[in-house]
Amino acid sequence: MRQIIIGNWKMNGTKALVEAMAREVSSRAASLACDLVLCPPATLIAPLVAALGDAPAKVGGQNCDARASGAHTGDIAAAMLREVGASHVILGHSERRTDHGESDALICAKVAAARAAGLTPIVCVGEDEAARQAGRAEAVVMGQLAASLPADFAAAPTGLVAYEPIWAIGSGRTPTADDIAAMHGAIRAALGKRFGAAGGAIAILYGGSVKPGNAATVLALAEVGGALVGGASLVPGDFLTIAAAAAPALGRAPGAS
Ligand code: PEP
């Protein structure tokens, strides 16, 4: 399975960044052993799809509504993201859980809506610092997983899970390698228990202060199927350098079948 490197631009980005990122992807992507997904603000999805052209990167949204259409001012339906060229959507990011009070049940409904529209959901889970210090990190993440993933999550379009400890996001701090590996192992076991063999196809990404300097270490860890990158995805050179660190053991040579 190729590792997947996903950029989350959050509420950042301009058309100038779209052009710069497309240029960087076009010049470096052929040498990568991983897949790329870029998630700009919704207004930049169509321009980014156009700027990328045939370059090997997919584009995703950062959120979608659980409903298909209607009188919901300011919200965006999954099918709308799909129509302008998105293939993925981030759901349950901790900033949405905090800023918008999103519950696991709502996230689960959004995942179902995304899947119905043909989007691959990227579901974020992760503990806050208090839970980590209280030794409850795994319990929190297991609870989020159980309640945020619908029963058909492993069926096509197979979803992705991103483990993002809240205290590591944008802070420059990361868990130890042992802690990342332990959490990813626990998530893998939970997915296997719930979805059986099909659960093995669900990639588990790590997110939280992944930078060019630590990407190789993180991406070499057991059960790390890629990275969800925030701040560093706003610097095209840094984002592609992170992608270049994708673990060769999990990747495959460009062009290989
Ligand atoms: C994120 O918000 O998904 C994230 C991982 O951010 P950063 O890389 O900036 O910590």
In the three-class reduction of DSSP (H, G, I as helix; E, B as strand; rest coil), residue 27 is classed as: helix
Q: Across residues 31-55, what is the average pLDDT? A: 97
Q: How far apart are CA 242 and CA 3, in angstroms?
A: 11
pLDDT digits (tens, 9 = 90+) for 133-189: 999 999 999 999 999 999 999 999 999 999 999 999 999 999 999 999 999 999 999
Residue nearest to atom 8 of ligand 1 (CA): 230
* Percent of the chain topping pLDDT 90: 95
In the three-class reduction of DSSP (H, G, I as helix; E, B as strand; rest coil), residue 91 is classed as: strand
Looking at the predicted structure, is the pLDDT value of residue 250 above 80? no
pLDDT digits (tens, 9 = 90+) for 220-249: 999 999 999 999 999 999 999 999 999 765
Q: How far apart are CA 203 and CA 180, in angstroms?
A: 14
Strands 34-39 and 226-229, bridge-based pairing: unpaired
Identify the band that residue 49 occupies on the pLDDT scale cut at 50, 70 and 90. Answer: very high
SS (H, E, C) 120-157: EEEEEECCCHHHHHCCCHHHHHHHHHHHHCCCCCCCCC
What DSSP designation does 176 have?
-
Q: Which of 8, 12, 39, 239 to mutate to test the pocket of ligand 1 (most atoms within 8 A of CB)?
A: 8
Tell which atom from ligand 1 comes closest to the C-alpha of 169: 10
Q: Which residues are catalytic?
A: 93, 164
Tell which atom from ligand 1 comes closest to the C-alpha of 94: 2
Looking at the predicted structure, is the pLDDT value of residue 130 above 90? yes
Q: How far apart are CA 247 and CA 135, in angstroms?
A: 30
Instruction: Report DSSP letters for 95-123, one per residue.
Output: HHHHHS---HHHHHHHHHHHHHTTPEEEE
Looking at the predicted structure, is the pLDDT value of residue 253 above 60? no
Instruction: Report DSSP letters for 28-85, one per residue.
Output: HGGG-SEEEEEE--GGGHHHHHHHHTTSS-EEEES---SSSSSS-TT---HHHHHHTT
Identify the band that residue 254 occupies on the pLDDT scale cut at 50, 70 and 90. Answer: very low
Residue nearest to atom 7 of ligand 1 (CA): 230
* Residue in 1, 2, 3 with CA at minimum distance from that of residue 210: 3
Looking at the predicted structure, is the pLDDT value of residue 256 above 50? no
Identify the band that residue 122 occupies on the pLDDT scale cut at 50, 70 and 90. Answer: very high
Cβ-based neighbours of 245, under 8 Å, separated by 6 or more = 212, 215, 216, 219
Which residues line the pocket of ligand 1, CB cutoff 6 A? Answer: 8, 164, 169-170, 207-210, 228-232
* Residue in 247, 216, 144, 248 with CA at minimum distance from that of residue 187: 144
CB distance 45 to 61 below 8 Å: yes
Q: Across residues 3-10, what is the average pLDDT? A: 98
- Whether the pTM exceeds 0.85: the reply is yes
Identify the band that residue 1 occupies on the pLDDT scale cut at 50, 70 and 90. Answer: confident
Residue nearest to atom 1 of ligand 1 (CA): 230
* Residue in 44, 93, 99 with CA at minimum distance from that of residue 64: 93
**Distance between Cα 256 and ligand 1 center (Å):** 31
Looking at the predicted structure, is the pLDDT value of residue 255 above 60? no
Q: Give the model's pLDDT for residue 248.
A: 64
Looking at the predicted structure, is the pLDDT value of residue 68 above 70? yes
Q: How far apart are CA 183 and CA 188, in angstroms?
A: 9
**Distance between Cα 7 and ligand 1 center (Å):** 9
Q: Give the model's pLDDT for residue 219.
A: 97
CB distance 60 to 93 below 8 Å: no
